[in-house]
Amino acid sequence: MNRSFRLRRLPLYAAAAVTVTLCLFPVYWMMSTAFKPTRDIQTDTPQLLPTTWTFDHFRTAVQADGFALFWRNSILVTVSAVLLALLVALGAAFAVARLRWRGRRQFILMIFIAQMAPWESLIIPMYIISRDTGMLDRLPILTLIYFMITLPFTVVVLRGFLATIPPELEESARVDGCTHLGAFRRVVFPLLAPGLMATSMFGFITAWNEFAYANFLIIKDQDSRTLPVWLSSFQNTFGTDWGATMAASTLFALPALAIFLLLQRHVTSGFASGAVKG
Amino acid sequence: MTAVQERTADTGRTPGRDRRTWRSGRSGGRRRPNPWPYVLIAPAVLGTAYLLVYPLLRALIISMQDFKLEQLISGDAEFVGLRNYQELLTDSRFWDVVGRTFVFMAINVVLIMAISSLVALMTERLGRIWRALVLSALVLAWAMPVLAATTVFQWLFHSEFGVVNWALTGLGLESFDRYPWLANGTAAFAILVLLVVWQSVPFAAITLYSALTTVPGDLYEAARLDGAGAWRIVRYITLPMVRPIFMLVTSLEVIWTFKAFVQIWVMTQGGPDDATTILPVYAVQRALSSQQYDLGAAASMITVLLISGVLVFYFRQMFRQEAEL
């Protein structure tokens, strides 16, 4: 590469650097604030690089009232919703990808439409339905809603993964004496494992982040709250302690960040290239 | 994410193989309808019926009843036809909200699509290391949970110790010294736009980027041999090739504008002075803060109607593209 070529590319790399900075700065600022001592946070001249490190804020966040409980609630609701969605979606995806039946197209269309459901506009009827059925302030209603939010997506993606596994494999297993179920369990399931993994992680993130329903359906019983709602009310919990607030945000964001980085290959190539190649 | 997932579903599935499965599934030769598919989809259908269709119908019914706190407790509400809609449509505050919703949507979608197109074009031209760096940064920003991002933005724009005010003051803009962003309507609106754009660009940019990578290289080469300049190449090759995905992502972003409900509710609850109240926020305010469930449900139904319009466009785009493939 000669020099003039490099010089010509300079604006491009400058733009790339700006993009990376803008994307990362809020994440970086959250984490660095969480590690700074309070006197470095409440100052007129913020330090871009923390000079002194401390774990105090994390201690405050973890020891805050109910933190362990809300963490447990979040995990409980999220994991059960994802498992339920996985189980139900596996059956539906198998029926769609491998069997032919009347109403199949209509079912696929229903799933596509359900995937775009305007959940922000269903808060009011959900509130009234849960109130009428005595589900208000209880975690199972959140589990059910999160199950429904993640279900369509899970069906669609699992169907895609199933379609890449040749049916011949199953057929030969059946020729060798396996039952339908046995062929599925011994042959298809192991091949499907990465798909199940990726889908459940995306489902996990969706349910983990959900705020609106957790906020409006859990009102009186504070012990049934989940982490997003807790985080949104940090000002009541921590007052103006931004160090602790940022530590709590970091703890909340960490699982999602970790999962996305693990799945980065899927996110940037697998999922997205499927988007255009069809 | 949705466009991506839907498309993924069809990867590697060829009609030929489908037909073969069908035949082999019936190799026994009996024509008796197989109950298994229906057993397998039953839980999904029942779940959708109870958790999606029923709430939607319930909202429709409530929007045509006189349903306030009193009826919530007593349980019997009177049918009033379209009176609630009439009340909303003659309320000037409601029209302000509708107008604001469209302004919010337009600004967001234009910014998101413009920025992510530029980022996608840029990423395609980068070397291997820088490209990986940009993609990782995008993924990390994308992964940031809504609640965490909203909280961080509140801290970034904090009036006293916020780093943004510090930077702006340092740049010589003295008026930003201790500027209370969330107390001013326009400023709060701007912060929310910024937050939504920051959170939405990664998905759009990554999807557009992967669309760009599918444009065959020889097309560019041929154009270059024919003497086309950089601008003409973008105009006559890149744009037409990427257009379908671009339209899909645009309609998704339009629909997803309404998801900004969460950011708005957490940051401003629609305030100050209604400056950040968009339709879903208005509906929830009406229903759960003022206990006018009927009017809130009516506003929700109008929102659903608006979204459905865009959704029809989105599905037409999607299926047209599917037919092409």
* pLDDT over 90, % of chain A: 41
Cβ atoms within 10 Å of A25's Cβ, excluding its own: 18
Query: Containing H/E element for B22?
Result: helix B15-25
Asked whether the beta carbons of B317 and B251 are under 8 A apart, the reply is: yes
| Contact criterion met (CB < 8 Å) for B155 and A98 | no
- Interface-testing mutation among B1, B2, B6, with chain A (most A C-beta atoms within 10 A): B6
| Contact criterion met (CB < 8 Å) for A253 and B148 | yes
Residue A4 placed within a domain: no
DSSP codes, B184-235: SHHHHHHHHHHHHHHHHHHHHHHHHHHHHTTS-HHHHHHHHHTT--HHHHII
Residue A38 placed within a domain: no
* pLDDT over 90, % of chain B: 48
Per-residue tokens: B55: 């709430």
Residues contacting B185, CB < 8 A, separation 6+ = B272, B273, B274, B275, B276
pLDDT score of B36 more than 80: yes
Q: What is the mean pLDDT of the segment spanning B178-195? A: 92
- Report the gap between the CA of B187 and the closest CA in chain A (Å): 19
- Report the gap between the CA of A58 and the closest CA in chain B (Å): 15
Alpha-carbon torsion angle B261, A58, A253, A127, nearest 10: -40
| Contact criterion met (CB < 8 Å) for A121 and B288 | no
Q: What is the mean pLDDT of the segment spanning A208-212? A: 92
Residue A28 placed within a domain: no
Question: CA-CA distance, A175 to A187, in Å (whole number)?
Answer: 13
Q: Taking Cα atoms as reference points, which of A59, A64, A38 lies closest to residue A243?
A: A38
Per-residue tokens: A66: 């109910």
Residue A117 placed within a domain: yes
Question: CA-CA distance, A74 to A69, in Å (whole number)?
Answer: 9
Residue A82 placed within a domain: yes
- Report the gap between the CA of B290 and the closest CA in chain A (Å): 12
Q: Which of B5, B47, B198 minimises the CB distance to A156?
A: B5
pLDDT score of B22 more than 60: no
CA atoms within 13 A on the CB side of B23: 6
pLDDT at B12: 40
pLDDT at B83: 92
pTM equals 0.87
Instruction: Tell me which chain A residues have a C-beta less than 8 angstroms from the C-beta of B151.
Output: 30, 231-232, 234, 245-246, 249
pLDDT at A235: 64
Nearest CA in chain A to B204: A272
Q: Which of A19, A27, A267 minimises the CB distance to B119?
A: A19
At B270-302, the pLDDT tens digits run 878 899 999 999 999 999 888 899 999 999 999
pLDDT score of A43 more than 50: yes
Residue A21 placed within a domain: no
Asked whether the beta carbons of B142 and B203 are under 8 A apart, the reply is: yes
pLDDT at B98: 95
Asked whether the beta carbons of A96 and A104 are under 8 A apart, the reply is: yes
When computed from its CA atoms, the radius of gyration of chain A, rounded to whole angstroms, is 24
Per-residue tokens: A212: 């609106």
Residue A39 placed within a domain: no
Instruction: Tell me which chain A residues have a C-beta less than 8 angstroms from the C-beta of B149.
Output: 26
Output the domain CATH number for residue A98. Answer: 1.10.3720.10
pLDDT score of B26 more than 60: no
Q: What is the mean pLDDT of the segment spanning A1-15? A: 78
Indicate the range of A114-123, B79-88, B208-217, B262-271 predicted with least confidence: B208-217
Question: CA-CA distance, A243 to A42, in Å (whole number)?
Answer: 9
| Contact criterion met (CB < 8 Å) for A252 and B147 | yes
At A121-173, the pLDDT tens digits run 999 999 999 999 998 999 999 999 999 999 999 998 888 888 888 888 888 88
More confident residue, A9 or B82: B82
Q: B289 in contact with A at a CB cutoff of 8 Å?
A: no
At B37-59, the pLDDT tens digits run 999 999 999 999 999 999 999 99
pLDDT score of B16 more than 80: no
Q: B10 in contact with A at a CB cutoff of 8 Å?
A: yes
User: Rounded to 5 degrees, what are φ and ψ at B66?
Assistant: -95, 95
- The torsion region of residue B215 among left (phi > 0), alpha (psi -120 to 50) and beta comes to beta
The band of A233, judged by pLDDT with boundaries at 50, 70 and 90, is confident
When computed from its CA atoms, the radius of gyration of chain B, rounded to whole angstroms, is 25
Q: How many CB pairs under 8 A join A and B?
A: 340
Q: Looking at the 3D structure of chain A, how many domains does it have? A: 1
Scored b (16 or more CB within 10 A) or e, B15-31 reads eeeeeebeeebeeeeee
Q: B243 in contact with A at a CB cutoff of 8 Å?
A: no
Instruction: Tell me which chain A residues have a C-beta less than 8 angstroms from the C-beta of B230.
Output: none
Alpha-carbon torsion angle B15, B17, B23, B24, nearest 10: -160
Indicate the range of A41-50, A107-116, A136-145, B26-35 predicted with least confidence: B26-35
- How many degrees, rounded to 5, is the angle at CA A86 between CA A150 and CA B40? 110
Asked whether the beta carbons of A119 and B55 are under 8 A apart, the reply is: no
Asked whether the beta carbons of A36 and A54 are under 8 A apart, the reply is: yes
At B199-215, the pLDDT tens digits run 999 999 998 998 888 88
Q: What is the mean pLDDT of the segment spanning A45-52? A: 82
Contact map slice: B 255-274 vs A, CB within 8 A = 255, 258-259, 261-262, 265-266
Indicate the range of A133-137, A271-275, B185-189 predicted with least confidence: A271-275
pLDDT at B205: 93
Mean pLDDT of chain B: 85
* pLDDT over 70, % of chain B: 89
Instruction: Tell me which chain A residues have a C-beta less than 8 angstroms from the C-beta of B58.
Output: 125, 128-129
Query: Containing H/E element for B300?
Result: helix B293-324
What is the domain extent for residue A237? 56-277
pLDDT score of B15 more than 70: no
Q: B187 in contact with A at a CB cutoff of 8 Å?
A: no
Q: What is the mean pLDDT of the segment spanning B295-312? A: 93
| Contact criterion met (CB < 8 Å) for B22 and A100 | yes
pLDDT at B31: 60
Domain B2-6+91-324: assigned CATH number: 1.10.3720.10
- For residue B105, with 0-12 CB atoms within 10 Å meaning exposed, 13-18 middle and 19 or more buried, which class applies? buried
Entry field: residues in chain A? 278
